[in-house]
């Protein structure tokens, strides 16, 4: 009867039986720490009791009583998993991006303490969008960002004696959350420490392509043996974000472009000496910021937000940053960039980086770092007059001074030379001049199609549409019949089983914030990229895409279907007309007919207005209440085009109006 309990409690273990006397011997008191707290008459009379008790806690944890007068700094991170001393796992993390960041934290903490500071550390781990692709775990992905940012800010405020904050994070939601948290503390010094990148396998596929092994195997384009081998070695080193310019890498780039990191911090190789030194550099920068009285409000400004948008365009970054950059601006109390701002930036900024997933040469992110990373790109942008160089960075100096240093630095010379001489790669083929980019015909990054399906707009990474499907003027034109799905599961099944063929237009509706928490649909976009016929298929959805997504994939359609958007009225067999001009960055997506009758976009809008919504469209039955609450709060705050933020004033106004309408006291 009690055998199960005995097994759990270890009473059947011979080792326990032999050591019971030690196990059950309990110490009931201890002498405490020798020494004295550095208290003064003024402290005892005027300091809050929390400050005084904090000293007791600090020595209780082992800090020397005589070293308690140092300035206190907080290190926050997204660390996950439990590593042994040799780096082997005791418990796995969710992803490589947070697996090694504890090493960054230790290096940063050692640097702080060596300079007389007292480091504190806290953790809010983050999920992996790659791991949750195609699962209900994706319903928590984007909402997590707001939740984590709030918890980070609560942790910052809960250590009232901190003088500044280091934010250590790597990946898709954890790093944007950390940036939101620091931006929301305008009177504190703060520095972002990016978690870097993992290396690609010497012989194999990157972490983006590897996510298509199921679709390629199902379509007969990959053997079981090859899928197994490629999948095993895709993450060639244990730490860092994925090897492509997806959301994780782009967020690192944007953090540096905004002045929130030390120079040449984004995309460093995780676990290597240059990566660890970046943590020490960040600690020194934080101490200097505090000494100089420099605060986050001095770093994150309207001008630095604009610089980040410019660098995003030059890199060809993830469209998810269209959600995160406005949210950072909101957290900092600044003007939120709108669609017209993004259009203006992308029309004026050339793409200068050749890397995964956009090409034209598919270099992994480590090559971008070796070619000079963010400061190298900014040198080219400086020559084009596209940056505000007066902005401050966490170095305590202006961007202009940072770029002057970078141009003549030993670091730049040595790293770029190594890429050329050791690896045989011309750095200028990875990060190129505007003239070189133009000669190669590389187009700007993002287009925002509108039309009767997307009256509020939509997003497509137009630079990554396969050139083979463009006309002579560089325009993508696709007029075809819709195949409509209301779940991603149905859509990927159709792709895997031959239900999607060249010429189709996939419509995935009801998957925006209110339906799924605005899930990523990389299962679909990656399959279309890597299947032989995929470049001849378009995708339209009110969901969003992974940062590694490419092709003729139109997302962020607004309004979302469940908020009354006309995309929710589309049916199988509807005729849809898509036009995307990669040169002018103009685009349209329109319903133009049904039942064999073609109509104008204006007539199509009238037909859609009279139609009922798709009968199968509804919030996913697995949508968590936590995400339903997030969807409601971000909706009254302006929705997707304001970055899925929590605008507290608007939320309170809506609640008060609702209470009044309902007659609630």
Average pLDDT over residues 622-644: 96
Kindly report, residue by residue over 167-211, the tens digit of the pLDDT: 999 999 999 999 999 999 999 999 999 999 999 999 999 998 999
From 415, 328, 432, select the one nearest 645 (Cα to Cα): 328
- Can you list the domains of the chain with their CATH numbers? 67-200+236-435 (no CATH), 446-610 (3.50.30.80), 626-662 (no CATH)
3-class SS at 439? helix
Quote the distance between the C-alpha of residue 579 and its chain's center.
Answer: 29
For residue 17, pLDDT over 60 is answered with no
Kindly report, residue by residue over 293-352, the tens digit of the pLDDT: 999 999 999 999 999 999 999 999 999 999 999 999 999 999 999 999 999 999 999 999
3-class SS at 166? strand
Burial string for 236-271 (b: 16+ CB within 10 Å, else e) reads bbbbbbbbbbbbbbbbbbbbbbbbbbbbbbbbbbbb
Average pLDDT over residues 442-450: 93
Separation CA 394–CA 532 (nearest Å): 47
Token pair listed for 570: 């589309």
At residue 549, the pLDDT reads 81
Separation CA 366–CA 237 (nearest Å): 12
- What does the mean pLDDT of the chain come to? 95
Kindly report, residue by residue over 123-144, the tens digit of the pLDDT: 999 999 999 998 999 999 999 9
The answer to whether 185 and 165 are in contact (CB under 8 A) is: yes
Separation CA 366–CA 241 (nearest Å): 11
What secondary structure, in 3-state letters, does 358-422 show? Answer: CECCCCCHHHHHHCCHHHHHHHHHHHCCCCCCCCECCCCCEHHHHHHHHHHCHHHHHHHHHHHHC
Quote the distance between the C-alpha of residue 13 and its chain's center.
Answer: 47
3-class SS at 481? strand
Kindly report, residue by residue over 102-115, the tens digit of the pLDDT: 999 999 999 999 99
Quote the distance between the C-alpha of residue 71 and its chain's center.
Answer: 32
Catalytic residues: 546
pTM: 0.95
Q: With bands split at pLDDT 50, 70 and 90, how would you rate the model's confidence at 16?
A: low
Kindly report, residue by residue over 344-386, the tens digit of the pLDDT: 999 999 999 999 999 999 999 999 999 999 999 999 999 999 9
Burial of 495 (0-12, 13-18, 19+ CB in 10 A): buried
Name the percent of the chain lying above pLDDT 90. 90
Separation CA 534–CA 466 (nearest Å): 10
Separation CA 593–CA 454 (nearest Å): 16
């Amino acid at each position: 009867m009690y055998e199960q309990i005995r097994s759990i409690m270890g009473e059947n273990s011979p080792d326990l039986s032999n050591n019971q006397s030690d196990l059950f011997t309990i110490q009931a008191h201890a002498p405490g720490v020798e020494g004295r707290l550095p208290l003064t008459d003024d402290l005892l009379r005027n300091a809050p009791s929390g400050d005084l008790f904090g000293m007791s806690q600090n020595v209780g944890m082992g800090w020397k009583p005589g070293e308690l007068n140092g300035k206190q700094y907080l290190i926050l991170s997204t660390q996950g998993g439990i590593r042994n001393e040799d780096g082997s796992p005791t418990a796995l993390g969710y992803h490589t991006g947070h697996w090694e960041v504890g090493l960054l934290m230790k290096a940063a903490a050692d640097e702080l303490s060596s300079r007389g500071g007292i480091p504190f550390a806290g953790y809010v781990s983050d999920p992996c969008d790659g791991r949750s692709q195609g699962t209900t775990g994706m319903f928590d992905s984007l909402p997590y960002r707001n939740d984590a940012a709030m918890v980070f800010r609560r942790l910052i405020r809960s250590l009232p004696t901190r003088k500044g904050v280091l934010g250590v994070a790597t990946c898709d939601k954890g790093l944007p959350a950390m940036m939101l948290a620091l931006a929301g503390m305008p009177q504190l010094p703060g520095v972002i420490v990016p978690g870097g990148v993992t290396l690609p396998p010497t012989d194999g596929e990157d972490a983006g392509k590897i996510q298509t092994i199921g679709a390629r195997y199902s379509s007969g384009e990959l053997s079981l043996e090859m899928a197994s081998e490629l999948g095993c070695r895709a993450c060639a080193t244990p730490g860092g974000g994925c090897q492509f310019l997806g959301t994780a890498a782009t967020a690192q780039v944007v953090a540096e472009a905004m002045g929130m990191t030390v120079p040449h911090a984004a995309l460093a190789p995780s676990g290597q000496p240059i990566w660890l030194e970046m943590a020490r550099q960040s600690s020194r920068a934080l101490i200097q910021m505090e000494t100089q009285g420099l605060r986050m409000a001095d770093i994150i400004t309207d001008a630095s937000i604009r610089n980040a948008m410019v660098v995003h365009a030059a890199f060809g970054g993830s469209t998810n940053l269209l959600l995160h950059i406005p949210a950072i601006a909101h957290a900092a109390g600044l003007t939120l960039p709108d669609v017209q701002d993004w259009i203006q930036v992308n029309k004026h900024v050339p793409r200068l980086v050749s890397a995964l997933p956009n090409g034209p040469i598919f270099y992994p992110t480590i090559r971008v770092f070796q070619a000079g990373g963010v400061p190298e790109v900014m040198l080219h942008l400086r020559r084009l007059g596209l940056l505000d160089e007066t902005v401050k960075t966490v170095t305590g100096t202006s961007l202009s001074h940072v770029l002057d240093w970078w141009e003549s630095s030993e670091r730049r010379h040595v790293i770029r030379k190594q890429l050329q001489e050791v690896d045989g790669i011309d750095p200028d083929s990875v990060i190129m001049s505007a003239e070189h980019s133009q000669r190669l015909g590389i187009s700007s990054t993002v287009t925002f199609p509108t039309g009767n399906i997307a009256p509020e707009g939509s997003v497509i990474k137009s630079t990554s549409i396969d050139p083979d499907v463009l006309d002579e003027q560089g325009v993508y034109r696709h007029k075809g019949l819709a195949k409509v799905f209301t779940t991603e599961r149905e859509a990927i099944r159709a792709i895997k089983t031959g239900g999607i063929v060249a010429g189709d237009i996939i419509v995935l509706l009801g998957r925006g914030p209110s339906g799924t928490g605005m899930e990523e649909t990389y299962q679909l976009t990656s399959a279309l990229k890597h299947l032989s016929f995929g470049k001849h298929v378009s995708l339209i959805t009110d969901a969003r895409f992974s940062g590694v997504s490419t092709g003729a994939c139109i997302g962020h359609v607004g309004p979302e279907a469940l908020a009354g958007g006309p995309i929710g009225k589309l049916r199988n067999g509807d005729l849809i007309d898509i036009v995307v001009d990669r040169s002018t960055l103009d685009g349209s997506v329109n319903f133009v007919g049904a039942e064999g009758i073609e109509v104008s976009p204006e007539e199509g809008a009238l037909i859609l207005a009279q139609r009922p919504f798709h009968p199968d469209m509804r919030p996913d039955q697995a949508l968590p209440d936590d995400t339903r609450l997030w969807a409601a709060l971000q909706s009254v705050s302006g929705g997707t085009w304001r970055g899925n933020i929590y605008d507290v004033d608007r939320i309170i106004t809506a609640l008060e109006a609702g209470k009044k309408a309902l007659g609630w006291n």
